[in-house]
Amino acid sequence: MERLILGYVTDGSLETVTAEDAVRLTHINLAFGVIRDGLLDMSHMPHIGEVDRIRKMNPKLKFVLSVGGWGAGGFSLMSRTEEGRKAFAASCLEVVEKHGLDGIDIDWEYPCDNSAGIDCDPSDRENYTHLLQALRDALGADRIVSIAAGAGNYFIEGTEMEKVAAICNYVQLMTYDMRSGFQMEAGHHTNLFTSSGDRLNGSVKSSVDAFHAAGVPKEKIVIGAAFYSRRWDGLPDVNHGLFQMAETVGQYGAGYTRLTEEFINKNGFVRYWDDEAKAPFLFNGSSLISYDDPESIRLKCEYLKAEGLKGIMYWDHGSDPSRALLGSMWTAIHKA
């Protein structure tokens, strides 16, 4: 089975994609199209023409337009009627054909849930399935239909994952932000396994196990890696800040390249390794930073290969100009 390496590339980062990137990636998720008046709107993607340049560097590379993202609404209302779903799907097909794309990735965060401040309804659970089927009908069997799924049980409860998986080419688990801007307990946000003392119990493994139990075949599961960090401030100097209560929630932190330049064993921050979680973290006596590094990426790749999973994806390409993490990912996936 071919293992996928998918990178979420925002419009502003498309110009930075190099020939080496194009060869290492199997898929680029173009972030983001949005929904306006029930149809796909591309006004947030002014650099979509970069696809032509990048494709010349690797004609086998797949380009999938991601629609949605955190705080992007319009899904619930649009998907409540067959007419609305078909109109949206037709607008997706038009964009795919116009730009020579390979498919559509739905990033609805999250069905039946208003935590992102967007419209929702209990009928989202069934309508999510109907929306994906409408996309499949419009795009055809040879194009990609995929989703980005929140890593927790809330996403499973708000969807019909067995039916969804049957429609999709693959399901991408957002196994990052497992501790996020809602939690004041500092800890790992993209860890492979769960540590002793971690009361939230989130991990790549627990997410994979839950989605598999909900009906997603392992060979359709793509796990997630973080090229950015999460930071908590105002922590007691206990257990290097790990699993302690902070004065802040988990703030969106620096990308990996900046971490290496300013934080990892620099400016008072010390790198620690949680061997249970298989995850690094930084602590300076009062602030904790959770992130992925080449070692944790390698272990995630070894895990997905051992479990027979489809591949690995990351958010986001612009957070690591050094390409250290993508390099680690590519090497681990292709290692015999």
The token duo for 34 is 């949005």
- Taking the model in full, what pTM does it have? 0.98
Name the more confident of 180 and 238: 238
| Residue 151 DSSP symbol | S
8-61 pLDDT, tens per residue? 999 999 999 999 999 999 999 999 999 999 999 999 999 999 999 999 999 999
Q: What is the pLDDT of residue 325?
A: 98
Q: Is 55 exposed, middle or buried (0-12, 13-18, 19+ CB in 10 A)?
A: middle
- Arithmetic mean of pLDDT, 185-197: 97
Q: Are 150 and 172 in contact (CB under 8 A)?
A: no
State the pLDDT confidence band at 142, using cuts at 50, 70 and 90: very high
Average pLDDT taken over every residue of the chain: 97
State the pLDDT confidence band at 181, using cuts at 50, 70 and 90: confident
Q: What is the pLDDT of residue 115?
A: 86
Q: Is the pLDDT of residue 1 over 90?
A: no
> Backbone phi, then psi, for 7, in 5-degree steps?
-115, 130
Q: Is 199 exposed, middle or buried (0-12, 13-18, 19+ CB in 10 A)?
A: exposed
Q: What is the pLDDT of residue 221?
A: 98
Measured CA to CA, the distance from residue 193 to residue 278 in angstroms comes to 7
Spatial CB neighbours of 296, under 8 Å, sequence gap ≥ 6: 190, 191, 192, 225, 278, 279, 280
Helices (H), 198-312: 204-213, 256-262, 294-307
223-241 pLDDT, tens per residue? 999 999 999 999 999 999 9
- Arithmetic mean of pLDDT, 125-144: 98
Strand 251-255 relative to strand 228-232: parallel, antiparallel, unpaired? antiparallel
Q: What is the pLDDT of residue 116?
A: 86
147-157 pLDDT, tens per residue? 999 999 999 99
101-118 pLDDT, tens per residue? 999 999 999 999 998 889
Measured CA to CA, the distance from residue 255 to residue 226 in angstroms comes to 9
Question: Mind listing the domains of the chain with CATH numbers?
Answer: 4-227+290-334 (3.20.20.80)
Instruction: Give catalytic residues, as residue numbers.
Output: 109
295-332 pLDDT, tens per residue? 999 999 999 999 999 999 999 999 999 999 999 999 99
Q: Is the pLDDT of residue 277 over 90?
A: yes
Q: What is the pLDDT of residue 158?
A: 97
Q: Is the pLDDT of residue 180 over 90?
A: no
Tell me how far CA of residue 203 lies from CA of 74, 135, 300, 304, in angstroms: 30, 31, 11, 13
Q: Is the pLDDT of residue 336 over 80?
A: no
Max CA pair span of the chain: 58
Q: Is the pLDDT of residue 211 over 90?
A: yes
Q: What is the pLDDT of residue 166?
A: 98
